[in-house]
Amino acid sequence: MHEMSIAEGIRGVIEDAAKANSFSRVTTLRLEIGRFAGVEKHALEFAFDVVMRGSPAEGAELQIIDIPGKALCYDCAESVEIEHRLDPCPNCGGGKLLAQGGEEMRIKDMEVL
C-alpha cells in the first residue's frame, strides 16, 4: 500500500513547513491528485489519519481535489478530458492520444494555526 508512504511524505512536508513558518497546527490540508496518479483515495485518507498522529496535522481535515485526465488527440488535434488512459477521443473517436495531465499529486495549500 504505497498510500502509507505518500502520507509519510506529506507528514515530512508539513513538519518542515511548521519549523520554517512557525505554526503548530494544521486544520485543513488540500491535496490535488490526478486521475492517473494511481492513488487509492480511501486508502490515502486512512493512512493520513494514522500517519498524522503526533504531528501538527493530527486531526486535520484532508480534502482531496480530483484533477481530470487530459490528453492530446493526434487525430483531431484537440486537447480533451478522458476518464481512463486507453479511452478513445471523446470528440472524434480516435485512438491516438498522448496523456498530458492527470498524473500529478501535490499539496495545494493548508490552513494552519
Q: Please give the annotated binding residues, written as ranges.
A: 2, 73, 76, 89, 92
CA 40 – CA 78 distance, rounded (Å): 29
Dihedral, CA of residue 84, residue 42, residue 15 and residue 13, to nearest 10: -10
Q: Which residues are known binding-site members for Ni(2+)?
A: 2
Q: Which residues are known binding-site members for Zn(2+)?
A: 73, 76, 89, 92
CA atoms within 13 A on the CB side of 113: 9
Q: Which residue blocks in the chain are alpha helix, DSSP H? A: 2-21, 41-51
Where residue 59 falls (left for φ over 0; alpha for ψ -120 to 50; beta otherwise) is: left
CA 43 – CA 4 distance, rounded (Å): 8
